[in-house]
Amino acid sequence: MAETNGSYPLRILLLDSPRTCSQLFRRLFQNHPQVDTSVMHLYASPWGFGPERIALRLKNSPEAQQASIDWAEAVPDRATQTYESALVSFEKTVQDIESQGKIPFMKEHNVTLMQQDVTLSTIRDNEFSIPQHRNPSYLPDSFLLTFSPVFLIRHPAQMVPSNYRIGASLKKLKLEDEDSMVQTTQRWTRYMWDYLATKSPAQKPILIDAEDLINNAEATVSKLCNILGIDPSGVEYSWDAVPKEQWPEDGMGIAKTYLGDLLVSKGVTRSEKGLIDIDVETEKWVEQYGQEIARGLRARVDKEMPDYDYLRQFKLTV
């Protein structure tokens, strides 16, 4: 098994935000002979469905509050999960994968890992800050620091409207709902990056911009593999689309909505957009959603740009 620079066998933890092409990233490694990507989002259950779910503490519209209840009722096996049980499952999953001689390739949204008091203070207090030496997540240092963390970010002008579209469809969210604010920010990624950058985890954190994943996938991912010490030839950049009869079903259309683009894809497709022009994107939002929502999306994107620009300076370059 591959070894890290520390005393731990290689364990990969992909840390991302919703709508950052993280499922595409994971798909690249799905059939890699050295790694196991089969388990992901263990903290999504307590965060989004369980008795401790953050929606119970967020200020959302009545429609969004009811949607949260409907979600929990639609997936009863996930509605009992707590943050404590998620950690137990996480640790056991890693042990099981390693017992088979493979490298765990785990994936979590940073937002679902955040301690809820940190989340609430951040969205409600513009002056709130968290010390770099404080672990903001529910993953204890004794476990978190055994991983080689890989971060994935995406330009807010792509991430924010994608989150809004799905949130409005599945969760009845409005832009002013706190749940929407929580999911459309990369502040949680910044918190985790800053924390892990000051620590000495198994491998220093690596950060990838989704634009490079899409437009320069092979060079970017090959360099990542070389840093981690895994074989680049095991990565797949093309595959067969998944037949509709094999699409996942969860009663609410959650998996199909979030994974739809990937399920019909046949590999990494380069973007033809070039550099992102926020003004041009704003015009598209006006056409799609009208002036009021477009203004809200633009305001959210503008607010998120400083965190994205800060993180982007650390991105892996080839």
pTM: 0.93
pLDDT tens column, 5-35: 456 789 999 999 999 999 899 999 999 999 9
- Residue with more model confidence, 218 or 199: 218
Check if the beta carbon of residue 178 is closer than 8 Å to that of residue 299: no
Contacts of 204 (CB under 8 A, 6+ apart): 197
pLDDT tens column, 125-177: 999 999 989 999 999 999 999 999 999 999 999 999 999 998 888 889 999 99
Tell me which residue of 294, 21, 57, 290 sits closest to 154, measured CA to CA. Answer: 21
pLDDT confidence bin for 266, thresholds 50/70/90: confident
Give me the pLDDT at residue 5, please.
45
Lowest mean pLDDT across 176-180, 195-199, 266-270, 272-276 = 272-276
Q: Classify 8 in phi/psi space as left (phi over 0), alpha (psi -120 to 50) or beta.
A: beta
- Residue with more model confidence, 207 or 255: 207
Q: In angstroms, rounded to a whole number, what is the distance separating the alpha carbons of residues 264 and 242?
A: 6
Report the CATH fold assignment for 12-312: Rossmann fold (3.40.50)
What average pLDDT does range 256-280 have in this prediction? Answer: 76
The listed range with the strongest mean pLDDT (59-63, 150-154, 171-175, 274-278) is: 150-154
Do you know the residue count of the chain?
318
Tell me which residue of 40, 42, 293 sits closest to 163, measured CA to CA. Answer: 293
- Residue with more model confidence, 255 or 280: 280
In a 3-state reduction of DSSP, which class is residue 217? helix
Lowest mean pLDDT across 102-106, 120-124, 127-131, 250-254 = 250-254
pLDDT tens column, 72-106: 888 888 889 999 999 999 999 999 999 999 999 99
Average pLDDT over the chain, rounded to whole?
A: 90
